[in-house]
Amino acid sequence: MHENIGLSEERAQGVVTLLTVLLADEYVLYTKTRNYHWNVVGPQFHDLHKFFEDQYKELNEVVDDVAERMRALGGPAIGTLAEFAQQTRLKEHPNHYPPAHEMIANLLADHEAVVRQIRTAAETCEQEYQDVGSHDFLIGIMLQHEKMAWMLRGCLEGQSV
């Protein structure tokens, strides 16, 4: 049954396609953050372990929100590791457990990449698909990533890590 929410099926599907790639990026970033939470070592272990935990918990919520937005628009939400790996724009580094400073820099680069990609997707939702709801939804997600990037950037300033 097609949703009667003021979007054509074609426009809704266009937004779902954008959100599918975002969902994959979010899941990969969540996984990378969780990996770093498990594998961080060094003098700031406790603080970074907790910091990464806070971020992956927030990303877990974002993953769920993106998937639910896709479902609200009538699309499926991908949910397998194979699908996430196929759709993501982010890079993983299997069997690489970098020092804490590099972990933070990697996560910062990924958050900033996601912010740039969301800006483009939000504009497309509004201008091409006339879906201001998804535009606003994406802006909210973008703001979360900007805050997480700011926190990571703050960790890189100074002498520690």
Determine the pLDDT at residue 161: 53
Give the model's confidence band at 85: pLDDT under 50 very low, under 70 low, under 90 confident, else very high.
Answer: very high
Determine the pLDDT at residue 5: 60
- pLDDT at position 4 over 70: no
Q: pLDDT higher for 154 or 2?
A: 154
Locate the domains of the chain by residue range: 9-155
pLDDT, tens digit, 9 for 90 and up, residues 26-44:
999 999 999 999 999 999 9
* pTM recorded for the entire structure: 0.92
Yes or no: domain 9-155 corresponds to CATH 1.20.1260.10: yes
Determine the pLDDT at residue 1: 46
Q: Is residue 43 exposed (0-12), middle (13-18) or buried (19+ Cβ within 10 Å)? A: exposed
- Selection from 136, 138, 128, 123 nearest residue 19 by Cα: 138
Q: pLDDT higher for 159 or 76?
A: 76
